[in-house]
Structure 1
Amino acid sequence: MNPTVGSVSALSTPATATAHTIRIVVADDHPVVRFGVKNMLLSEPGFAVVGEAEDGDVAITQTLELEPDILLLDLMMPRLPGLEAMRAIMARSPRVKILLLTSTISTQQVIEALQIGARGILLKDSVAGDLANALRAVVGGDYWIGGERVANLLKALAELTQRAAAATERKTYGLTPRELEVVRCIVEGCSNKDIAKQFGISEETVKRHLSNIFDKTGVSTRLELALFSIAHKLVEMD
């Protein structure tokens, strides 16, 4: 193990830390992420990073030894994934509030994480703007979901479950996001020229998209595609 990882004395803890300081362990396999989080918190009063972890196993050890107020835990950790590490921690130290840190996460994973005991999900591309607010929400007893403070977990879980069910019911037949956009345009009655202008592509590219869409859905005309799309809920219409 890197001698600086997991060593409280080796970390940059504000000299003004008091009994009211929120103690945080940052668990992420990328040193740049850990460094970035620590630097952001240096300018935020009331927070102190007291430990670091580079994999799931170390995250468990650091959390149980240091008993921080909050564990910032990467979802995709080596050796032991974030959700598994969280299960182990919650079983032995349920007082610790865990905020998952991730680049991407499915609705189903969000539901699972909250059911296990996570206090929220923080996307890495939103860390710069949301980190302090997310930490304060969690410290205050609320949750951080979808980039905002959530007080009613049951309501949030119900909404997430409905969203996950809708996503499961909706089959895309292997269509790419751009192809689904083209399908929506076809349903709205757009011509190839209209579609090309809307997306800033050539009409030839539109024709290639349509050819791929026809192959994947098994239809052969624009009318059949529109009817197929409506029947199979390929696109959500306003």
Structure 2
Amino acid sequence: MTTSAGPGPDTAVRVLLADDEAMIRAGVRAILGAEPGIEVVAEAGDGHEAVDLALRHRPDVALLDIRMPRLDGLRAAEELRRVAPGTAVVMLTTFSEDEYIARALDSGVSGFLLKSGDPRDLISGVRAIAGGAAFLSPEVAHRVIAQLGGGRLSRAADARSRLEPLTAREGEVVALVGAGLSNGEIAGRLHVVESTVKAHVSAVLARLGLRNRVQLAILAHEAGVVERGPGLSSGDPGRARPAE
């Protein structure tokens, strides 16, 4: 998965917001606009406009509604992956759109956020994804996992068995990816250089046959190995923990 390298430490996170409901756009813009270091640089009412504006403004993060006219969020995400690979895509979803979430996992998205979720999740998610991490609000993660079929215990056992061949260090990286940490944050936690973390993540994705960090985060969550961080948390399924 190709994502933005993220803004520098003194640069605001540039966000594109796309939703066909003006009230939703206004609410999200108000939340993000009040947060230091985050700037909404463009707004779109449909998928085609979102792609055009992304090419013009080159945002770090694009927040896309899954269901939009002309070009829906899934197809817009695929187009952005092709024409603006430096822009990380986050899907804005509702509980009534579960069937779209599974499809979006194959569209190269970096995260999912509930429109009705806690505003702190929105802020944490934008910051995490701008830094190169994957982010799923816990409510979305649980619904995705519930869609995967099979009993919870059997899924957990299968997930743990898939992770068993990994080295101890690779296992640590997986746990921190699941928590929503970026490569830089993982490097700081493990006291290694960021290029080493990137190599570990790439090797793990290839070995496990996963396409992106979001799928790896879900696997870590299923296996119950998620470390405390700004994204998924196995210890508190109702809330995403803020970055430390």
Q: TM-score, normalization: structure 1?
A: 0.54
In structure 2, the partner of 1:115 is: 106
Root-mean-square deviation (CA), in Å? 2.7
Equivalent positions of 1:93-132 (< 5 A) are: 93-104=84-95, 109-132=100-123
| Structure 2 residue matching 1:99: 3-state secondary structure | strand
In structure 1, the partner of 2:4 is: none
Q: 2:83 is aligned with what amino acid? A: R
In structure 1, the partner of 2:71 is: 80
What runs of 5+ residues in structure 1 fail to find an aligned partner?
1-17, 163-238
Identity %: 33
Equivalent positions of 1:26-175 (< 5 A) are: 26-104=17-95, 109-147=100-138, 149-151=179-181, 153-158=214-219
Distance 1:107 1:37, change over 3 A: closer
Residues in 2 aligned to 1:107 and 1:76: alpha-carbon distance in whole angstroms = 12
Residues in 2 aligned to 1:26 and 1:150: alpha-carbon distance in whole angstroms = 21
Shift in Å at residue 64 of structure 1? Answer: 1.2
Shift in Å at residue 102 of structure 1? Answer: 1.3
Contact 1:107 1:160 in 2 (8 A): no
Which deviations, in whole Å up to 9, do the C-alpha atoms of 1:132-181 show, x marking residues without a partner?
A: 1111111222111243843554433547999xxxxxxxxxxxxxxxxxxx
Identify the structure with bigger relative contact order (alpha carbons < 8 Å, sequence gap 6+): 2
**Higher mean displacement: 151-160 or 21-30:** 151-160
Shift in Å at residue 108 of structure 1? Answer: 5.5
Residues in 1 aligned to 2:137 and 2:119: alpha-carbon distance in whole angstroms = 15
What runs of 5+ residues in structure 2 fail to find an aligned partner?
1-8, 142-178, 182-212, 224-244
Say which one has the larger Rg. Answer: 1
| Structure 2 residue matching 1:125: 3-state secondary structure | coil
| Structure 1 residue matching 2:132: 3-state secondary structure | coil
Which deviations, in whole Å up to 9, do the C-alpha atoms of 1:32-72 show, x marking residues without a partner?
A: 11111111112211001110000111111111111101101
Which deviations, in whole Å up to 9, do the C-alpha atoms of 1:86-107 show, x marking residues without a partner?
A: 1111111111011111113656
Equivalent positions of 1:181-196 (< 5 A) are: none
Shift in Å at residue 79 of structure 1? Answer: 1.1
Which deviations, in whole Å up to 9, do the C-alpha atoms of 1:188-213 show, x marking residues without a partner?
A: xxxxxxxxxxxxxxxxxxxxxxxxxx
Aligned residues: 145
Q: 1:35 is aligned with what amino acid? A: A
Contact 1:111 1:161 in 2 (8 A): no
Contact 2:66 2:100 in 1 (8 A): no
Which deviations, in whole Å up to 9, do the C-alpha atoms of 1:101-144 show, x marking residues without a partner?
A: 11136566334323221110000010523111111111222111
